[in-house]
Structure formats: C-alpha cells, structure tokens
Amino acid sequence: MHWSIAVLAGLILISAVVLAAVQWDSQRWDDGRDVFLSDRGSGGPPSPVEIRPRFAEDFYNENAFVTLLVVLDDFSPQTGQISAHVSAVVDKALYEKAYPGETPPSKIRLTVAGLYGWRVAEMPLLEESSQQFESSVNSVPIDLEAWGDPRGFPNDSYGSNNFYYIDNGLGRPSVTLLATPRLAAYHLEASVDDLYLSFLLERRQAEKLWIYTILASPVLLLISLMWLSRRQSQDVGTSALEVVVGLLALLPLRQVLVPEDINQLTWLDVILGVEFVLFIAWLAYAILRSGRQVSRG
C-alpha cells in the first residue's frame, strides 16, 4: 500500500513536470517580439523607439505635407488589438509653396496593411493647431492587429507590424505618437517612419522579476517545511497541516498576479500547478514515511 502511494505520487509529479515542459514548448513560438523583429534588415522598418505614456514622440519627415496624430488608447491581449484614434494635420504653407494657387484637400484616406488584413480610415484634414491632441472630434478610431499569446504570461509579448499610406497625392506623412496611461502596464516600442507603423508591447522587466520572486516563495516555503520535518521527525498530522498552509499560500496568487483581461491558462498557472503537485507529493511522502514508522514500531 505504501509503495503504491509513492509510485502514484511520483507519476503525478513526473506528469506535472512533463506537461509543464510541453506547455512551455507550445508557447515559445508565439512570441510577439519575434514578429516585431522579423522584418528588420536592409530596407526594413527603422530601429525601435520606446514610447512612454503621456509623452508625444515625433517621427519627422522634412518633406511631408501631412502629419498623422496617432493616439494609442488601449490594448486587449484577448483580442490582440491595439485601439487607437488618428487625426491628420496639413502644413498649409508648405503645401501652397509646393503647389501655388491650390488648396489642400479637405479629407484624406489612411490605409493600414497589418498582419491579417487592411484597415481604411477617412478623416478630415485639419490645419496646424497647437491643440492637436485635444481635437478628438476630428479623429477617427482604428484598430491595429497584434500577434502574441496571452498564455505565455508573464513572458507574453505582442508585435504589430504594419505599413501605411495616405491618398490624394499628399506623399509620405510625418507621424506623432502618443500613448495613454492605459498602456502604462506595458513596455511599448514603436518602429515608425513614413512607411512603417509597427509596435511591440511586452511586460516590463521589473514586473516579470517581481512575479517570479513571488512564485518562488511557495517553493522556499516547501523546502523549509521539508527541512523542518526531517529535523524534528514530525508525524503525518503535522505534515498535513504544513501542506494545507502551503496550499493556502498558493490559492490567491493567480488572482493577484494575472491581469483581469487574461482568462486563459497561462505559464504562471502551469508553475502554480507544479507547485501544487509538489505540496501534494510531499504529503504523500509524509504518509508513506509515517506508515513505515508505524509498521516498524
């Protein structure tokens, strides 16, 4: 009986480790950073620039008549979409200098080619204003598709590679980017020029280190309990109480660490599952050891 418990506990533990390895292997290919960097090289997108929330970043084209004002509003890892709104401003003086006697068009059409399809947005063409980002009435919404896998949390990353153009013969535009505070949870990089409009979102390094530090605490607790049990030769009842303490420490971690907008099984859940199995295996070992002591006595 004792050996059957030991074998069963060992099989469960081995299965948990193997399944965790399979889960890791299945996720490592869905990496948004790989997608974001895949087009780099001669003639590809420019080097990425970090975008900080509430700080505008300009990507200037000295020959541009039009500046696109792109505000990144939010991101959903479930749908893989970056929500944004765009408005367009024309440098009227530069346009009239290049085309004397002509006035700029009143509207333009923006076309964005992404990972899965095309996005088209038509918007009014505004004259330059010091209130550029406050004119939400004249902006239009647009969704940019991103590639990534939320199951990899906290190692998940999301890449959105796009190229774009505007019509009406207005040439290549300049771009000004602004990210809202709703994106503050991500490290955001942009690779933008007059042709490419690409983004990378990933968890901040400090956040990932903090999460893994918390995940390591139940393992440290288990090792301490095992060491204490061996030193003091505790009975099975005490060991069971120790396991309950460890499991109670594990249960709230998922709710605390995983963002609400991720409702899939994640890499963090896999780690918590392995830790759960370790505590159960320790309880099985304690029962087996207690049975041996009773039989010898």
For the stretch 126-155, pLDDT in tens is 887 544 544 556 789 999 999 888 888 998
Residue with tokens 């479930």: 78
pLDDT in tens, 189-227: 999 988 899 999 999 999 999 999 988 888 888 787 777
Global pTM reads 0.82
Token readout for 288 is 């087996």
Residues in the chain, overall count = 297
Task: Sort 186 into a burial class: Cβ within 10 Å, 0-12 / 13-18 / 19+.
Answer: buried
| Cα–Cα distance for residue pair 28/145, rounded to 1 Å | 20
User: How buried is 198 (Cβ within 10 angstroms: 0-12 exposed, 13-18 middle, 19+ buried)?
Assistant: buried
**Cα–Cα distance for residue pair 272/193, rounded to 1 Å:** 43
pLDDT tens for each residue of 51-72: 999 889 999 888 899 999 999 9
97 and 159 Cβ atoms separated by less than 8 Å? no
> What is the residue extent of each domain of the chain?
2-28+206-296, 32-203
**What is the tens place of the pLDDT at every residue in 236-277?**
566 666 677 777 777 788 888 998 888 888 888 888 888 888
Average pLDDT, the chain: 81
The pLDDT of residue 166 is 92
Question: What's the CA gap between 228 and 233, in Å, rounded?
Answer: 8
Least confident of 17-26, 161-170, 261-270, 286-295: 286-295
pLDDT class of 4 with cuts at 50, 70, 90: low
- Phi and psi angles of residue 160, each rounded to the nearest 5 degrees, phi first: -130, 105
Q: Tell me if 27 sits within 8 A of 152, measured CB to CB.
A: yes
In angstroms, the CA 104 to CA 88 distance is: 12
Containing 226, the helix (H) or strand (E) segment is helix 205-232
Is the Cα dihedral 274, 278, 280, 285 positive or negative?
A: positive
